[in-house]
A and B are shown apart, each in its own frame.
Chain A
Amino acid sequence: MPADVSPLFLQFVNLLGAVLLLLAFAMLSQRRILSLVHLFTMQGAVLVLATIVVGYVTAQPHLFVSALLTFALKVVLIPLLLHRVVARLDVRWDVEPLLNIPTTMLVGIALVIFAFYLGAPIAQLSSSVARGTLGIALASVLLSFLMTITRTKAVAQVIGFLALENGLFFAATSATYGMPMVVELGIALDVLVGSLILGVFMFQIREQFDSLDIHHLEKLKEE
């Protein structure tokens, strides 16, 4: 692990982490599904950039492979799938969140404070160059989680789930220089298969209830 990493690179990784958090907040405040997909794509691109920078700084070639994998999956393939789903389901209308947006944002900021507080002692244990970003990664995981909880429409929930994985991936990259390749490949496949299954699931919900509102799932059939 090189100790003489240029501070500019470190600051750049920090900046990318901040942008990741910013995008998580933008997703939280976004009402339109199409914009959500765009934000998710941007988040993926930032993640790729962060992985490449960390890989370059620490001279770990396997991070480049994982960056390539992330690019193919989260910047190209999954957004493409999501776009197709949105077009096929014709769900470009505004999403109605369960909590109104300002309340969600306030809860979000509380989560960020919690995550920073939680991340600080853990970051002390890590020897990675970008350990300061652990709190940020944790915060974006929690924010995506919040987004998944507060949305009623299935598509937004799927995007929340995928964004959650982005945050986890960033945490792994920044704190431990990425997971072992086998784990990474497994997660990548999991996400892909997961989004495919959820896509099919959305079509099924739609076919059954003529709506993507998952509240319909709470009703029993006999009622």
Chain B
Amino acid sequence: MDGYALLSQGLEIVLALLLAPLLGGWVTQCRAWLLNRRGPGLLQPYRTLHKLFVKESVVAEQASRIFRAAPYVVFGCMLLASAIVPTLSAELPLSRAADAIALVGLFALARVFISLAAMDIGTAFGTLGARREMLVGFLAEPALLMVLFSASLISGSTSLSATVGTLARSEFAIHPAMAFAGIAFTMVSLAENARVPVDNPTTHLELTMIHEALILEYSGRHLALIEWAASLKLFAYSCIGLALFFPWGVALGGSPVELLWALPALLVKLAIGGAALALLETLSAKMRVFRVPEFLATAFLLAVIGMLVHILLRG
């Protein structure tokens, strides 16, 4: 393992940790601008994290070890997930640890732990949130897998960095399958990251909340870790989207200069992606919980059709 690979891997982890809250702040800020409000500022997520880390963590008497362990597990999962998604460079030592299928498994592991923790306390809201989270999750996972498989079919590998390498290296070509996969991926990431048509990240209304109901019992550093993990998840999903559908600017060669150039490219892409997410959220209305399966089934079918179209047009 050479120094360059270690450097790019380390840089990517540090960057994910630092940029993830900023991305969340940027999306919130864009949403505020679109609604003609001033917004809390880009640095608000950092301030919130700092406040939560300083505060005391209160844990219910009945809480078991799962409740205490869940924030660390979730945070670890999300950190590993954002470490294996190629954002700056396609050459990552850690990416051999997990391919696209294992990545979906990582997200699932985090989901299972946070749901168990929410049920652990035994409050009604936690259980309700856990059930809804599992409902969204079991429909979103196959769709995400299908999207990743579409990309894998084009590149011939389930390893994410190999896929991104192939997509970025090949000469410019339009893959109709990727149009389907792109729309399916957008729908899945909206659902998985608790964004507007499926869940509203800013609400605490008991009838509609999913993600907020799960973490209602957490406070202090536990809550900080979970919030950070949520922003890491958004970051990881954005990076998967950018890597699969807009792979230009990712450093492919082995020079640190290329790595340096990949950074502004990533920042610009993330800024545009975040603004697009805010626009999408502002334009759409929150749907009823019972419409969510329909929404995700559509995403799954689109991903499957993407694969079929790829097979048809390849011949």
Contact = CB atoms under 8 A, between A and B. Distances in A.
B298 A18 contact: no
Contact of B308 (A14, A15, A112, A132): A112
15 contacts: A14-B176, A15-B174, A18-B176, A19-B179, A21-B309, A22-B183, A22-B302, A102-B297, A105-B298, A108-B301, A113-B308, A116-B308, A116-B312, A132-B315, A133-B313
A120 B312 contact: yes
Q: Give the interface SS of chain B, mostly helix, strand, loop or mixed.
A: helix
Contacts of B56: none
Interface in A139-189: none
B174 to A, nearest CB: 4
Interface string A10-23: 01101101110110
Contacts, number: 62
Interface string B282-315: 0000000000011001100110110011011101
Q: B172, B180, B294, B301: which has the most chain A beta carbons within 10 Å?
A: B301
A25 B176 contact: no
A201 to B, nearest CB: 31
A120 B309 CA distance: 12
Interface string A99-115: 00110011011001100
A14 B312 CA distance: 10
B301 A25 contact: yes
Contact of B176 (A8, A11, A106): A11
Please provide the 5 A-B residue pairs with the shortest distance between their CB atoms, ordered closest to farther.
A18-B176, A11-B174, A132-B313, A15-B176, A14-B176
B312 A109 contact: no
A61 interface: no
Contact of B294 (A22, A101, A132): A101
Contacts of B177: 18
A128 interface: no
Given A22-B302, A102-B294, 8 more contacts: A7-B173, A14-B176, A22-B183, A25-B301, A29-B294, A113-B308, A119-B312, A120-B315
A82 interface: no
A105 B297 contact: yes
Q: Give the interface SS of chain A, mostly helix, strand, loop or mixed.
A: helix
A212 interface: no
A106 B179 CA distance: 20
Contacts of A102: 293-294, 297
A136 interface: yes
Given A15-B179, A22-B183, A136 B297 contact: no
A19 B182 CA distance: 12
A135 interface: yes
Nearest to A105: B301
Interface string B168-196: 00001111110110010000000000000
Interface in A18-66: 18-19, 21-22, 25, 29
B174 A14 contact: yes
Nearest to B309: A18
Given A22-B180, A116-B312, A11 B173 contact: yes
Contacts of A113: 308
Contacts of B180: 18, 22
A109 B301 contact: yes
B198 to A, nearest CB: 16
B299 to A, nearest CB: 11
A116 B305 CA distance: 11
Q: A7, A12, A14: which has the most chain B beta carbons within 10 Å?
A: A14
Contacts of A15: 174, 176, 179
A22 B174 CA distance: 16
B173 A8 contact: yes
A19 B177 CA distance: 10
A152 to B, nearest CB: 19
A11 B180 CA distance: 15
Contacts of B294: 29, 101-102
A113 B312 CA distance: 10
B306 to A, nearest CB: 8
Nearest to A29: B298
A112 B173 contact: no
Contacts of B302: 22, 25
